[in-house]
Amino acid sequence: SLLLFPFDAMKLLPRLLSLDIHRLLAGSALVQLGGLVAATMLGVQLARYLGPANYGIYGLILSIVSILTVVAQFGLPLFAIKEVASASSSNAHADLRNVIGWFVLHSVAAASVTLALGLMATFLWSPEMLRAKADLVFLAGGTVFAFSLLAVAISIIRSAGLNLQGQAVDALAKPILISAVVFAVEGGTAGLTVRLALGAQLAASILCLGYCALAIWVIAKRQPATPPTTQSMTQRRYAPDRWLMVSSTFLSTSLLLAFNGNYPLLVAGLFVAPVDLGIFRVALSSALLLSLPCSIANIGTGPLVAKLHEERRFDELADNLARTTVLMFFLTLAGLLLLAAFGRLFLS
């Protein structure tokens, strides 16, 4: 059966276009491809303006920020996809406004606790570094706080029916805004520094967070005033069952993925010079091209999977997932062949 799998899968490809999910995947693909271009251009821009040494230091700080951001999120972005999508379905189990309010409150609390513990640990570990590099530490801490809240806000937007808009904020708007801020800073000063690059990250995240807050307010305002059940769900306090266990599971999985994506830079930062670290970061980022099809599938189908599961449409759910898996397999295989054929030329 394994030998016949490619032939059986090929028979399914013509039927993929008949699925409703193909529109979602096509839109996600366009957003992710645009985001990949924007992120690549931003990387080139930062590498040129910062130079190899400062770019290596910047990459190391951003790797630490990425891991701390996952801790600050506490698994709430993935949990929000499930709960907000369920509250938006036809047989909602809770009022959408109450669900959104719960996630906003708990995401702020989780990010605040993580940031306080991180600053305390930095002070206990190296008080001299906190005094000498206080601006870098606080910029990195502010970026962690903004990144964590932005991830939860994007999950709420996506799950409430604005899937592509939520993806566009993270994949397109944020790198484009960072690039614009970096370009403005570089043109108006003697040169870009690591501090200014981190400040650009923080400023772009705050702008994106403001847009997400406005979108969430619109979503909550459009929620029907009449509850779908005889007992008003707006009067009941939303309290998800065993949310600590669920969020901890999501956190552990996301933390492993974050370590898996950042440990090469963290380990290399202990043994190599900043110049070599910057060159290594540029080479490592090219490998992300191969994971793009799987990223598109995960991001594009997440809210739909939660909604179909909540509405107990299991046959449609299984059919969509199976066909999406086949499509992602062939797209990843094509990317692997292209990387094997032209990878050396691309890196050079």
Cα 83 from Cα 251, distance rounded (Å): 16
Q: Give the pLDDT score at 244.
A: 83
How high does pLDDT run on average in the chain?
Answer: 76
Cβ atoms 237, 184 nearer than 8 A: no
pTM of structure: 0.70
292 residue type, one letter: L
Cα 185 from Cα 196, distance rounded (Å): 8
| Segments of the chain with pLDDT less than 70 | 1-29, 89-94, 126-132, 186-190, 223-237, 274-275, 277-279, 281-289, 299-300, 302-303, 343-348
Q: Which two tokens stand for residue 244?
A: 């600590």
Q: Which two tokens stand for residue 204?
A: 């772009």
Q: Give the pLDDT score at 110.
A: 92
Q: Indicate the Cα dihedral angle 299, 300, 302, 304, nearest 10°.
A: 170
Ordered alpha helix ranges (H), the chain: 5-16, 21-73, 76-87, 96-125, 127-132, 134-159, 163-168, 174-188, 194-222, 243-271, 274-285, 292-310, 314-347
Question: How does pLDDT run across 33-73, given as a tens digit for each residue?
Answer: 777 778 877 877 887 788 777 888 888 888 888 889 999 99
Cβ atoms 288, 39 nearer than 8 A: no
**CA nearest to 325, candidates 298, 346, 343, 303:** 298
Q: Give the pLDDT score at 131.
A: 65
The DSSP 8-state label assigned to residue 256 in this structure reads: H
Q: Give the pLDDT score at 320.
A: 80
Q: Give the pLDDT score at 263.
A: 73
Q: Give the pLDDT score at 210.
A: 92
163: left (phi over 0), alpha (psi -120 to 50) or beta: alpha
